[in-house]
């Protein structure tokens, strides 16, 4: 069997927090779960789990390793799909309905990853929900503060969360390390519209907004060239810039736990396809 079964045991125990539930999920005995985890910890030379009386939890090393385990399992699955006895190599067209910042970096990263496993596949992005064929082959990405809106074609998959991020130009490092209230910002705020819907207290900062745009890219461009401007945009929209240090994150004032759930809603024909599980895994990593 292609893959390392110990990684699947690690994932199951991470998700369930219980040796018993992990064993039930995998269809193996509880001692087998313990043995696999013990072997994995011995090979890595670190303790991955803290054992409690009723449940287990990841150690800091375990949390760090989980991101690697997910990537390794994804590539095992990709290789299996590429060379296994299925029709995954058959050229197909996948329709994706996404708008705002969801149509930018997340979709680009998804397509980049999936083309390696599904060569010949064409990805069509629809920014208008009305343009997406409800009986088509594909899925919709939605950010919802509460319940889902619109038609539910198949069971929705929660693939992540959207939080507002405050970013500044690197030359602002000595000016801002954080701010405790909107009044602390001397010049102004550039806001991506995706942050205005339920995430940012608009009434508190409306007098501070100097630029507002539906494009996260436009906000990032302004912030990079304007040391006195703080940008507010979805965290995932600035992932690459925060990674390469072309933008710096600073602390936000109390947002009262503001967040949006990112859901992937597959059509019925797509939900039963092998590409659907691959897309869920990739999007979950993107929005982690």
Beta bridge partners of 143: 262
Pair 98, 218 in one domain = no
pLDDT band at 207 (very low <50, low <70, confident <90, very high): confident
Of 115, 166, 109, give the one whose Cα is nearest residue 285. Answer: 109
Residues 51 and 172 in one domain: no
Q: What is the CATH number of the domain that holds 17?
A: 1.10.10.10
| 242 pLDDT above the threshold of 70 | yes
Residue 192, pLDDT above cutoff 70: yes
Same domain, 144 and 110: yes
CATH of the domain at 138: 3.40.190
Residue 220's pLDDT is 93
Least confident of 38-42, 73-77, 78-82: 78-82
Average pLDDT over residues 69-81: 73
Q: Are residues 97 and 227 in the same domain?
A: no
Average pLDDT, integer, range 155-164: 83
C-alpha to C-alpha distances, 180 to 176, 220, 251, 255, nearest whole angstrom:
11, 22, 8, 11
* Domain match, 246 and 171 both: yes
Average pLDDT taken over every residue of the chain: 82
Q: Specify whether 107 is located in the same domain as 66.
A: no
> Domain range spanning residue 241?
164-250
72 vs 84: which has the higher pLDDT = 72
Q: Which helix (H) or strand (E) holds 249?
A: strand 248-250
Q: State yes or no: pLDDT of 15 exceeds 70.
A: yes
Report which secondary-structure segment, H or E, holds 96.
strand 93-97
Final residue in a domain of this structure, among 56, 83, 110: 83
pLDDT at 198: 60
Residue given tokens 């991101």 in the structure block: 67
Give the count of domains, the chain: 3
Asked if the model's pLDDT at residue 80 lies above 70, the reply is no
CATH code of the domain covering residue 202 = 3.40.190.10
When pLDDT is averaged across residues 29-36 and rounded to a whole number, the result is: 92
Cβ proximity of 104 and 59 under 8 Å: no
Lowest mean pLDDT among 123-127, 158-162, 175-179: 175-179
If asked whether residues 127 and 269 sit together in one domain, one would say yes
Angle between the N-to-C axes of helices 5-16 and 60-83, in degrees from 0 to 180, rounded to the nearest 10: 130
CB atoms within 10 A of CB 267: 23
For residue 223, what pLDDT is reported? 93
| Mean pLDDT of the region 240-249 | 87
State in Å, rounded, how far the first CA of the chain is from the last one: 29
Q: What angle do CA 178, 180, 186 make, to 5 degrees?
A: 75
pLDDT interval class at 89 (50, 70, 90): low
Is there a domain that residue 97 lies in?
A: yes
Confidence of residue 83 (pLDDT cuts 50, 70, 90): low
- Torsion angle in degrees (nearest 10) through CA of 110, 115, 121, 127: 20
Q: What single DSSP character describes residue 154?
A: S
When pLDDT is averaged across residues 83-107 and rounded to a whole number, the result is 76
Least confident window among 93-107, 141-155, 158-172: 141-155
Which of residues 63, 83, 103 is at a domain's end?
Answer: 83
153 and 168 co-located in one domain: no
**Residue 118 located in a structural domain:** yes
Report which of residues 89 and 27 the model is more confident about: 27
pLDDT at 1: 47
Q: Residue 92 pLDDT more than 70?
A: yes
Q: 């629809």: which residue's tokens?
A: 126
- State mean pLDDT over 19-29: 89
């Amino acid at each position: 069997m292609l893959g390392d079964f110990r990684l699947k045991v690690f994932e199951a125990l991470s998700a369930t927090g219980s040796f018993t539930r992990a064993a039930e999920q995998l269809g193996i005995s509880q001692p087998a779960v313990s043995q696999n985890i013990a072997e994995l910890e011995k090979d890595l030379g670190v303790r991955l789990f803290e054992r409690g009386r009723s449940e287990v939890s990841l150690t800091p090393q375990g949390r760090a390793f989980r991101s690697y385990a997910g990537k390794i399992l994804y590539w095992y699955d990709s290789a299996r799909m590429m060379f296994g006895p299925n029709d995954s190599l058959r050229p197909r067209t996948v329709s994706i309905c996404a708008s705002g910042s969801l149509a930018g970096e997340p979709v680009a990263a998804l397509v980049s990853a999936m083309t390696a496993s599904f060569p010949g596949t064409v990805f069509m992005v629809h920014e208008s929900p009305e343009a997406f064929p409800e009986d088509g082959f594909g899925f919709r990405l939605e950010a919802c503060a509460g319940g889902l809106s619109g038609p539910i074609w198949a069971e929705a998959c929660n693939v992540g969360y959207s939080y507002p991020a405050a970013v500044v130009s690197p030359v602002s490092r000595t000016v801002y390390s954080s701010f405790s209230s909107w009044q602390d910002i001397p010049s102004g705020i550039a806001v991506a519209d995706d942050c205005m819907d339920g995430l940012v207290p608009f009434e508190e900062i409306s007098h501070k907004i100097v630029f507002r745009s539906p494009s996260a890219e436009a906000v990032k461009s302004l912030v990079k060239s304007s040391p006195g401007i703080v940008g507010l945009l979805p965290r995932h929209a600035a992932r690459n810039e925060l990674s390469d240090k072309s933008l710096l994150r600073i602390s936000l004032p109390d947002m009262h736990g503001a967040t949006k759930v990112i859901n992937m809603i597959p059509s019925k024909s797509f939900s039963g396809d092998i590409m659907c599980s691959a897309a869920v895994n990739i999007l979950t990593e993107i929005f982690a």
